[in-house]
A and B are shown apart, each in its own frame.
Chain A
Amino acid sequence: MSLQATTSQTVGPYFKIGLDWLHRDNLAGEGVSGERVTIQGRVFDGDGVPVPDAILEIWQANAHGKYAHPEDTQDKPLEPRFTGYGRVPVAADGVFRFATIKPGPVPGPEGSEQAPHLLVSVFMRGVLRRLVTRIYFPDEPRNATDFVLNLVEPERRSTLIAKKTAGSPGTLEWNVVLQGPDETVFFDLGL
């Protein structure tokens, strides 16, 4: 007899009370190897208005392409000071921003290698179950052969790839667009 997963509910408007204590907007402190990046952006609703009350969670591999998780059995080094987890609220000015390192490539389906990417969960009032998406990196040749990116219609792939910002090397822009022609690609993982 199997059980059924508990149904998801919105985080509502007051999640800060419960989720604040675990904010992590700097995933890579001192002593963590890898190319430093800051990723910033906004979340836009169906009217194009920035959402002030969303929260993002990040999951990523380290610079060697290794996840800090027992199921990653690859023969690659762990970074003791890098967990790969981030929890990033949108600030009062409507912007989210976090600092991390660009992850290395990890294995993909059918023996392929995935392009470096971050996994993102998006929660907010009005969202009944979390939205799941990914952030890929610009100027990354592996994007062309990434299994997941290639499942997305070509004209929508750009919603998953962070953009370089003029005059600010090391800072990338990536937005979450909830509706409309530039709607971000969200993935179906069941939840």
Chain B
Amino acid sequence: MKRVAGYRAPYPGTQPNHLHSPYVSSIKRAPTKPQVRIPYTLSEVTGPSFGPEVVAPKASDLTSGHSGEPLGERIIVSGRVLDENSRPLANTLVEIWQANAAGRYRHAVDQHQAPLDPNFTGSGQAVTDGEGRYRFVTIRPGEYPWRNHYNAWRPAHIHFSLFGPAFATRLVTQMYFPGDPLIPFDPIFNCTADEKARNRLISAFDWETTLPEHALGYKFDIILRGREATPMEE
């Protein structure tokens, strides 16, 4: 009987704890009892797969699909999805969502006094190619206020959701922009103890993907958990 090879545990401090009290919403929602450590089984090393067929042809262009162009600064966000063993993850679904250029989400709960943009929904999907690459065309999201504490503002960010090859590799994260002065004050950004791990959430301005007369490029590589070495036959 073969033991199932699991996925690597995170390096200490590189993933958030459930409770991060400066982020007020975590206080009543973070579990308080220790989590139960379980061995990897077939259930956790399998997971849903979504090929390019699930994604509409223009789903990676958030500036398309409306009668006009959205307001704001057009940008190209691209990168690679790799695992911790530097292996590119092909054919993996990447979902994003974001606020519009004025810092407003197209969502009933968002009451920020900033205009909605009839030409921007803020939702996109892509499936990585054979080298793990993805690419979105969108607009730079605006910063916006929230009620976590007095005069709280979220830095500009794009939400990312990824599946990877297994249930164990599922990841939801946020991408930030270089030079945003709000980043050091953001309790969500700061929920991860390890400074280098936090800073990897900040995308890099990228000349290579910047299109002349058209759009600035930002690069954001995403690393999903890597597999432990395959165990020997027992």
User: Which chain A residues border B49 with CB–CB below 8 Å?
Assistant: 68-69
Knowing A11-B159, A128-B191 touch, does A148 contact B225 (C-beta < 8 A)?
Answer: no
Q: Which of A53, A68, A85, A183 contacts B31 (CB 8 A)?
A: A183
In the bound complex, do residue A7 and residue B38 qualify as a contact, i.e. CB atoms below 8 Å apart? no
In the bound complex, do residue A71 and residue B7 qualify as a contact, i.e. CB atoms below 8 Å apart? no
Knowing A46-B29, A107-B41, A127-B18 touch, does A22 contact B123 (C-beta < 8 A)?
Answer: no
Q: Which of A20, A129, A190 contacts B8 (CB 8 A)?
A: A190
Is B209's CB within 8 Å of the partner chain A?
A: no
In the bound complex, do residue A2 and residue B38 qualify as a contact, i.e. CB atoms below 8 Å apart? no
Complex Cα–Cα for A130 and B48 (A)? 16
Chain A interface bracket (under 10, 10 to 19, 20 to 34, 35 or more): 35 or more
Q: Which of A13, A109, A128, A131 contacts B107 (CB 8 A)?
A: A13
Is A144's CB within 8 Å of the partner chain B?
A: no
Interface size on B, residues (CB 8 A): 85
Is B212's CB within 8 Å of the partner chain A?
A: no
Is A124's CB within 8 Å of the partner chain B?
A: yes
**Scoring B residues 173 to 199 as 1 if CB is less than 8 Å from chain A, else 0, what string do you get?**
110000000000000110110100110
Closest to B4 in A: A109
In the bound complex, do residue B96 and residue A18 qualify as a contact, i.e. CB atoms below 8 Å apart? yes
Complex Cα–Cα for A3 and B221 (A)? 11
Is B67's CB within 8 Å of the partner chain A?
A: no
A-B contact pairs, 26 of them (CB 8 A): A3-B83, A3-B226, A6-B223, A8-B16, A9-B174, A9-B191, A11-B159, A12-B188, A14-B110, A17-B122, A18-B95, A18-B96, A19-B97, A20-B123, A22-B95, A46-B28, A59-B46, A67-B43, A69-B46, A126-B29, A128-B16, A129-B15, A131-B18, A151-B36, A188-B38, A190-B9
